[in-house]
Amino acid sequence: MYRYSLSRLVRHALSDRPWPRAWREAKPRSHYDVLIIGGGGHGLATAYYLAANHGMDRVAVVERAHIGAGNVGRNTTLVRSNYMMKGNTEFFEFSLKLWEGLSHELNFNVMLSQRGQIVLAHSPAQMDALARRGNIMRLNGIDAELLERAEVRRLLPYLDYSAAARFPVLGGLLQGRAGTVRHDAVAWGYARAADSLGVDIIEGCEVTGFLQDRSGVHGVETGRGRILADRVAIAVAGHSSHVAGLAGLRLPIESHLLQAFVTEPIKPFVNHVISFGAELFYISQSDKGGLVFGGHIDGFNSYTQRGQFPKVRQVAECAVALIPGMSRLKLLRHWAGIQDMTPDGGPFVCRTPIRHLYLNGGWCYQGFKATPAVGWCLAATIARDEEHPLVRCYALDRFARGAESLDEYGHGHWPYRH
Amino acid sequence: MLAIHCPLCGERPYTEFRYGGDASKRRPALGTMAPEAWHDYLFLFDNPKGPHREFWQHDQGCRQWLLVVRDTATNAVGEVILARNAGAGAGEGPGGR
Amino acid sequence: MTPGPGRVRAAGRIDRDRPLGFSLDGRALTGYQGDTLASALLAGGARVIGRSFKYHRPRGFLTAGVDDPNGLFTVGEGDRAEPNAQGTMVELTEGLSARSQNAWPSVRFDLGAVNAWFAPLLRAGFYYKTFMGPTRRSWMTYERLIRRAAGLGAARHEPDPDRYETRYAFTDVLVIGAGPAGLGAALAAARSGARVMLAEQDGLLGGTLLADPVTGDTEVWRTRMEAELRSLAGLQILRHTTAVGVYDGGTVVLVTRRDHCRPDPAAGEALQIVTTVRAKALIHATGAIERPLVFGDNDRPGIMLASAARAYLNRYAVACGRRAVVLTNNDSAYAAAFDLLPHIDSVMVADVRRDVHPSLAAQAASLGIEVQTSAVVAGVLGRAAVRGVVLGRGEGRSRLRSIACDLVCMSGGWSPLAHLSCHGGIKPRYRKDRAAFVPGGYAPGHFGAGALTGAFSLPTAVEEGWEAGHLAAAFCGFTPAAQGLQSAPQAAAPWDSDSHRIEPVWQLPGARAGKAFVDFQNDVTVRDLVIAHQEGYGSLEHLKRYTTLGMGTDQGKTSNINALGIMAGLRGIGLEDAGTTTFRPPFTAVRVGALAGRHVGRHFRPMRRSSLHDWHLAHGAQMIEAGPWLRPWYYLWAGATVERAYLEEMRLVRHAVGLSDISTLGKIDVQGPDAAEFLDRVYVNGFARLPVGKARYGVMLSDAGTIFDDGTTTRLADTRYFMTTTTAGAEEVLCWLEFLLQTAWPDLRVHVTCVTDEWAGMAIAGPRARDALERAFPGQDFSNPTLPHMGCRDLVVGRVPMRLIRLSFSGELAYELYVPAGLGPAVWEHMLLSGEPLGMRPYGLEALAALRIEKGHIAGSEVDPRLSLADLGLGRLARYEKPFVGRELAARAASGPERASLVGIECLEPGKRLRGGAILFAAGEPVRGHGRGYVTSVTWSPTLEKFIAIGLFAGGLDHLGEEIVCAFPLKGERVRARITSPVFLDPKGERLHV
């Protein structure tokens, strides 16, 4: 790999020497050991760990558009591990630990900013629920602090503490190690590192079908021809049902829109990640200065990647309810991504009933923060043809088995409520 | 903004309605013992990119459950009928807010 | 007063009789009514008005409109200060105060400019390549510095005193843009009889015509059109109104700014109004904006768009310089040269094209304007302001010469504002003859006209508008009126013709790439694009994200197309194959507060209050949020703090009698011949054989077989039941019952009706409850045989119908009394008054919750869809021999010895307390992991004089009597406790039956 460093930056600045490509423009070969469908964060991370951890160098990532075109570049960039359901806790903490070393691992600054996330509570019952979550975190070696109203006020002086607040702030749960990551850099960093280990990243290559028989999957048909592969993994958040459907699988997934928002850039204002407790709403400030925020999904199945205006309004209402000073700031842009929503809010990282076909999907809101751990665990699952212990709870047949719930917030079995 | 033509109330913005999910599946008859029938009904979705049969309730209006065909690729709303006229046993049920 | 040095004699659209005082950075300045902040500053001779985001390069105004990337100010004072306001869009008002941003100590001398020395280091993507060491957390240190340097204006903590309004509007035809095409369209549609709304971002109608001299032909036409439009009854004209987004179903969101009216929020006047318009037909007439040319140091103050220089001159009577060089690749910029010449010292034209249309050349010659063709810019002189340009000729840059000037008017051609037409997902199309992207199509009922489509000449634009207006009216079912169109002035000059000639030049040859700016606000140069291309970030989305191009407050209005052109060149592809990035709403930035409208503060979400609410407030109730409801938490009669008060209230209920407001419970009237069968299906337990006049506790599951809701349902008659639900689940349950009745079992003859708000509910609880009833309603028989536990009676007292159900949540002798909501306060007061000798007082939610914990009743935190019947010890309630919702999957629900189920927990350590959310472990085992369970609800029990709790514990009551540890690491606590029955008090229920 052509390593990045300050001294190299200086040398390039002085000499005007061109930088090499971050990843090659690969042409599809006829056969791979592993082919990953989807050049998002998850697919690229999986390719990287297949090469880095399992020594596999005949690996391809095929992407319909350009890498990072999906949810890795559309999310609100939050990373955290404040999960309390068994399975989730361990997985997301593993992911956060990988995040903590990722810039060095990839030699690409993904700008992990561990500025801390505060989840707010507005009733005694919510305080108890946060306490349960925080206690589980601490008992699993994860940092967490329960904050009283006065402590929240000291950290977040700009929230509404007035008598006019419709949902007064009672307290909160702080995870200091949680924070934000520069989302695009994750796709690029993994792509560059995977490429340097010999992974072929093939952009502009849409999968149109699977080569399969009774012994399983043997490759894919694409817009650029047939590509054979011993093992094939699906990592196409938002379109999981469609791609799995090409192989004849029906999934416990619905596709829904999630909108995200950014304001004009301002000087440092919100120095944490904050989650409102009255409704689903979360906000942080990007390094460039824009306030980045989001709310709940639009609420009905859709693949349109454009949101409904009433939801824009509802999210703006949350913003002002939480941070009254935001009223004067201007919304610059809003966009939408397509989320795989599942009946328990949990994902699938697993083998499928079809031999040699692996699935990663159903991440609901949580796909971005899971990226490094998904890559790590899916790579291991593919390499060993057996689920990595950290993702055993994310099996496709868990509803049929009546397995222990992964439902972090008790929303019930409706995908569009998670 | 999405609008739904309620057969009783006319065209209204979708914010007056509660989403009720996939209506393409037949609800197992009351008392059906086979858990797998309930599993398929509750947990597996075609999730099409295109026309989607789905339930909406006009809960801020006539409170009728409607069967709506909407294209998930464009959000264009097609046919809307009262669910009670669609025959028994369709759909997965309301969880919308 | 004296006019500023930039002000010229031209008439303009300013009112010289109405001078306005304003200030910039505390300096007093003047302008005129009709000025923008930008024009007033330029009139005063201002040059450097801002600093760029990254290199802090001095910047002046680039444009005169909504596309300006440079002139951002904080406008207003105190809690009404708005950061990042565009000076070109701020209309001048008396006393307006503006401050510069992103510079210290001042925009003229800004220490941040040292960044420019490091420019070669700070090129595209530099931060991805460094700041990674020495430690893993080092980025946090760098980030702090970077964040401080980034951002533009500053936000403030105070709430926004301004008021914003929300409106909804419906119309046949909505015309967006009141330029020549929009005026034509509105007239045609309105004359057809359609209801028309015309939305214009500017305060005046006319669009680009407003930049024409007010003495010309076009102004005559504009005024006539405006007069005619005003006379039409069916036409609504919205000025200062920007269409910011087009959403599904032809919904358009308009934002109307009223800053210039200086609205007074105290008088209920709104600063901005957001209108959601549902139009049957929509006409896009958004026009086009000019784009810059890309050459070295093209960002020096004094270099601006030719159209801007012309607008400042003709509209605001401001000459932005005395010696101008017009630099262009197309015909339109000649207008600026011709208009400027009479007002300033000298004008020359440098045209990058080899050939100029003979008529243009002739006109220039007749005016004495030198035109140099095949021009290239070899350099720009001046730092804080342009002092001259070095021009060469042809690729070889021969015959270099310096031209002294203080104004460069540049034009790289025109870019249609296709944003809104793309919000619906239709991609724009490249039109080669215009070197511009135009809408790639329209949704049904949407039409486009004018410069947006590439019709740059006035007559054609008007013609297109006229036709679009007719088509839109026809789409709505109207027949076009016979009356013809007021024809627009004929093309007077070659630039105003359909053979508009342009030679696309995305970057001028030979310029220093590192100083040739593409995105002015974000300091993206040609060099950055080259780097992005070299490194493989050539696809448009990568380019944008890697270089931050087009991500500023202007959203790349002046930069996107040039960047596309340059990148297409680097990649060796045509623009038609390069595509564009996705246009996202809003078209211009919208205040978050305007979107929130009136849903702020107390009105953020509706608040539900029981009919007894005012009584509670008047009698010392401290209220608490319970979902959408506000409920009494505790009453001051019992103590000043909740910790003291609820104990006193509990004592009252355990030893005398208390009264509590339970109106918030969901109440559903279930009626019909099949009501019994229906309830048998929705509850796990049976209701068909419930005798009339009796109540029963019931539990509902979801289809998934887990807990959905619980409550008591009373049989009032053979075919009628009165169902209560949890407060939180009321709405869900009703919708679910309706769903089942309308879709799954339409054959059942049952109606469900929500009666939550019709009945006020009050619980009378305590050993003296019966005495209280007898005192309140003398002559009625409330004896045990007449009204036993779980019995119900309807009675009429006076003329008040009442429903009395003997139910207990507290474990004491208790009744639930329901009366018509309007009579709630009267009956409540009557109860308290007649119960006074018994010591009757009201009690609140905290006591209610604590009383039920002593009794082991489940509530809020236990009614959890992750739990099963067995988990809550309710397994024996279910009658599996009958079909009910959720039966099949309930039977399969996770179970076994490791499954956590409901237990009671008592604290074994005096002086320590149990807490909700504590994690449970067996005594002696390592305290880590997920434990064996958790505490759901806790209270101090004044009856048992210790902390008690209910919770879930693996194996449940199999561990009865065992010692456990309640861990609360968040507070560093571990408390020894013991598993008990969840029913702490009166396990046999003797108190209920007295």
List, for residues A101-141, the tens digit of each pLDDT value. 999 999 999 999 999 999 999 999 999 999 999 999 999 99
- Cβ of C248 and B20 within 8 Å? no
Task: Answer whether residue B64 is part of any domain.
Answer: yes
Domain hosting residue B51, numbered range = 3-85
pLDDT given at position C511: 66
Q: Interface of chain B against chain A, CB under 8 Å?
A: 1-2, 13-15, 19, 21-22, 36, 39, 42-49, 52, 54, 70, 72-75, 92-93, 95-97
Question: Which residues, other chains included, contact A183 with Cβ-Cβ below 8 Å and sequence gap of 6+?
Answer: A41, A72, A73, A75, A77, A368
Domain stops at, among C77, C111, C145: C111
- Strand C235-238 to strand C164-176: parallel, antiparallel, or no bridges (unpaired)? unpaired
What is the pTM assigned to this prediction? 0.96
Distance CA C407, CA C260 (A): 30
Measured between CB atoms, which of A135, A285, A313 is closest to C595?
A313
Task: Answer whether residue C59 is part of any domain.
Answer: yes
Task: Looking at the structure, tell me whether residues C251 and C266 fall in a common domain.
Answer: yes
Task: Looking at the structure, tell me whether residues C623 and C771 fall in a common domain.
Answer: yes
Sign of CA dihedral C689, C691, C697, C698: positive
DSSP string spanning C918-948?
A: PEEEETTS---TT-SEEEEEEEEETTTTEEE
Q: Chain A residues with CB inside 8 Å of C89's CB?
A: none
What residue in B sits closest to C889 (Cα-Cα)?
A: B35
CATH at residue C647: 3.30.1360.120
Task: Looking at the structure, tell me whether residues C766 and C656 fall in a common domain.
Answer: yes
Whole-number average pLDDT of chain C? 94
Min CA distance, B85 vs chain A (Å)?
23
- Cβ of B42 and C251 within 8 Å? no
Taking CA atoms, A238 is separated from A32, A70, A364, B95, C432, in Å, by: 25, 8, 9, 21, 36
Q: Chain B residues with CB inside 8 Å of A411's CB?
A: 95
Given CB atoms, is C972 within the 8 Å cutoff of chain A?
A: no
List, for residues A66-85, the tens digit of each pLDDT value. 999 999 999 999 999 999 99
List, for residues C291-316, the tens digit of each pLDDT value. 999 999 999 999 999 999 999 999 99
Min CA distance, C829 vs chain A (Å)?
29
Question: Which residues, other chains included, contact A385 with Cβ-Cβ below 8 Å and sequence gap of 6+?
Answer: A231, A351
Task: Looking at the structure, tell me whether residues C643 and C781 fall in a common domain.
Answer: yes
CB-based contact C521:A290 (threshold 8 Å): no
Task: Looking at the structure, tell me whether residues C656 and C694 fall in a common domain.
Answer: no
pLDDT band at C397 (very low <50, low <70, confident <90, very high): low
Min CA distance, B60 vs chain C (Å)?
11
pLDDT band at C909 (very low <50, low <70, confident <90, very high): very high
What residue in B sits closest to A241 (Cα-Cα)?
A: B47
- Cβ of C892 and B35 within 8 Å? yes
Task: Looking at the structure, tell me whether residues C659 and C748 fall in a common domain.
Answer: no
- Cβ of A299 and B97 within 8 Å? yes
Task: Looking at the structure, tell me whether residues C198 and C279 fall in a common domain.
Answer: yes
Taking CA atoms, A201 is separated from A25, A109, A145, C461, in Å, by: 7, 20, 42, 48
Distance CA C369, CA C346 (A): 8
Tokens of C774: 């007898």
Task: Looking at the structure, tell me whether residues C822 and C927 fall in a common domain.
Answer: no
Is residue C510 over pLDDT 80? no
Distance CA B88, CA C741 (A): 10
Task: Classify residue A51 as left (phi > 0), alpha (psi -120 to 50) or beta.
Answer: alpha
CATH code for residues A27-78+84-93+100-105+183-253+344-417: 3.50.50.60
Task: Answer whether residue C867 is part of any domain.
Answer: no
pLDDT given at position C579: 79
Given CB atoms, is B49 within the 8 Å cutoff of chain C?
A: no
Mean pLDDT of C879-899: 85
Q: Cα angle vertex B27, ends B22, B28, to 5°?
A: 150
- Cβ of C888 and B89 within 8 Å? no
What residue in C sits closest to A26 (Cα-Cα)?
A: C536
DSSP string spanning A163-214?
A: TT-SS---EEEEETT-EE--HHHHHHHHHHHHHHTT-EEE-S--EEEEEEET
Q: Cα angle vertex C425, ends C419, C426, to 5°?
A: 75
Q: Chain B residues with CB inside 8 Å of A299's CB?
A: 19, 96-97
Strands, DSSP E only, in C798-945?
Answer: 800-805, 814-820, 841-842, 900-907, 919-922, 933-941
- Cβ of A21 and C536 within 8 Å? yes
Task: Looking at the structure, tell me whether residues C732 and C696 fall in a common domain.
Answer: yes
- Cβ of C883 and B30 within 8 Å? yes
pLDDT given at position A403: 85
pLDDT band at C485 (very low <50, low <70, confident <90, very high): low
Given CB atoms, is A137 within the 8 Å cutoff of chain B?
A: no
Determine which helix (DSSP H) or strand (DSSP E) holds A8, and give its type and residue range. Answer: helix A6-15
Fold (CATH) for A113-178+254-339: D-Amino Acid Oxidase; Chain A, domain 2 (3.30.9)
Is the peptide bond between A324 and the residue preceding it cis, with omega within 30 degrees of 0? no
Chains that contact A by 3+ CB pairs under 8 Å?
Answer: B, C
Task: Answer whether residue B20 is part of any domain.
Answer: yes
pLDDT given at position B89: 47
Given CB atoms, is A412 within the 8 Å cutoff of chain B?
A: yes
- Cβ of C742 and B83 within 8 Å? yes
Task: Answer whether residue C336 is part of any domain.
Answer: no
Taking CA atoms, A338 is separated from A253, A380, A394, B75, C82, in Å, by: 12, 27, 20, 14, 34
- Cβ of A300 and B45 within 8 Å? no
Task: Answer whether residue C42 is part of any domain.
Answer: yes
Mean pLDDT of B88-92: 48
Is residue C491 over pLDDT 80? no
Q: Chain B residues with CB inside 8 Å of C738's CB?
A: 57, 63, 65
- Cβ of B47 and A254 within 8 Å? yes
List, for residues C913-933, the tens digit of each pLDDT value. 999 999 999 999 999 999 999
Q: Residue C215: how many CB atoms within 10 A of its CB?
A: 10
Decide: helix, strand or coil at residue C73.
Answer: strand
Task: Looking at the structure, tell me whether residues C989 and C927 fall in a common domain.
Answer: yes
- Cβ of B88 and C742 within 8 Å? no
Is residue B93 over pLDDT 90? no
Q: Chain A residues with CB inside 8 Å of C82's CB?
A: 328
Tokens of C415: 């870019």
Min CA distance, C532 vs chain A (Å)?
9
Provide, for chain B, the percentages of residues in helix, strand and coil under a 3-state DSSP scheme, each rounded to the nearest 5: 15, 35, 45
Burial class (CB in 10 A: 0-12, 13-18, 19+), A157: exposed
Total tally of structural domains belonging to chain B: 1
One-letter amino acid at C537 equals Y
- Cβ of C735 and B94 within 8 Å? yes
Mean pLDDT of C945-953: 97
One-letter amino acid at C3 equals P
Map out the domains of chain A as residue ranges.
Answer: 27-78+84-93+100-105+183-253+344-417, 113-178+254-339
Taking each helix axis from N to C end, the angle separating C675-682 and C730-739, rounded to the nearest 10 degrees, works out to 120
Listed range (A284-298, A365-379, C382-396, C477-491) with the worst mean pLDDT: C477-491
Given CB atoms, is C230 within the 8 Å cutoff of chain A?
A: no
Distance CA C124, CA A15 (A): 16
Measured between CB atoms, which of C148, C276, C593 is closest to A320?
C593
DSSP C423: T
- Cβ of A254 and B22 within 8 Å? yes
CATH at residue B46: 3.30.2270.10
Chains that contact B by 3+ CB pairs under 8 Å?
Answer: A, C
Mean pLDDT of A50-71: 96
DSSP string spanning C341-394?
A: GGGSSEEEEEESSS---HHHHHHHHHHT-EEESSEEEEEEE-SSS--EEEEEET
Q: Chain C residues with CB inside 8 Å of B20's CB?
A: 739
Nearest to C167 by CA among C601, C594, C604: C594
Mean pLDDT of A240-251: 98
What residue in A sits closest to C249 (Cα-Cα)?
A: A308
Per DSSP, helices labelled H in chain B are 35-43
- Block residue for tokens 């914010």: B15
Nearest to A131 by CA among C948, C951, C977, C916: C916
ipTM: 0.96
Given CB atoms, is B82 within the 8 Å cutoff of chain C?
A: yes
CATH at residue C740: 3.30.70.1400
- Cβ of B47 and A416 within 8 Å? no
pLDDT given at position C894: 61
- Cβ of C83 and A189 within 8 Å? no
pLDDT band at C104 (very low <50, low <70, confident <90, very high): confident
Whole-number average pLDDT of chain A? 96
Domain hosting residue C59, numbered range = 15-111
Mean pLDDT of C443-452: 96
Tokens of C525: 């140069």
pLDDT given at position C502: 87
Task: Looking at the structure, tell me whether residues C932 and C836 fall in a common domain.
Answer: no
Strands, DSSP E only, in C160-271?
Answer: 164-176, 196-199, 235-238, 241-247, 251-257
Question: Which residues, other chains included, contact C145 with Cβ-Cβ below 8 Å and sequence gap of 6+?
Answer: none
Domain stops at, among C496, C518, C536: C496
- Block residue for tokens 């978050």: C592
End-to-end distance of chain A based on CA atoms, in angstroms? 41
Min CA distance, A152 vs chain B (Å)?
30
Cα C763 to chain centroid distance, Å, stands at: 42
CATH at residue C63: 3.10.20.440
Mean pLDDT of A206-220: 97
Chains that contact C by 3+ CB pairs under 8 Å?
Answer: A, B
Task: Answer whether residue C984 is part of any domain.
Answer: yes
Which residues 369-398 of A are in CB contact (within 8 Å) with C?
Answer: none
Nearest to A55 by CA among A311, A276, A299, A379: A379
List, for residues C578-630, the tens digit of each pLDDT value. 878 788 999 999 999 999 999 999 999 999 999 999 999 999 999 998 889 99
Is residue A292 over pLDDT 50? yes
Measured between CB atoms, which of B3, B33, B90 is closest to C743?
B90
Given CB atoms, is A253 within the 8 Å cutoff of chain B?
A: yes
- Cβ of C742 and B34 within 8 Å? no
Mean pLDDT of A386-412: 93
Given CB atoms, is B94 within the 8 Å cutoff of chain C?
A: yes
pLDDT given at position C490: 64
Total tally of structural domains belonging to chain C: 5
Question: Which residues, other chains included, contact A123 with Cβ-Cβ below 8 Å and sequence gap of 6+?
Answer: A170, C624, C625, C626
pLDDT band at C952 (very low <50, low <70, confident <90, very high): very high
Which residues 10-29 of B are in CB contact (within 8 Å) with C?
Answer: 18, 20, 27
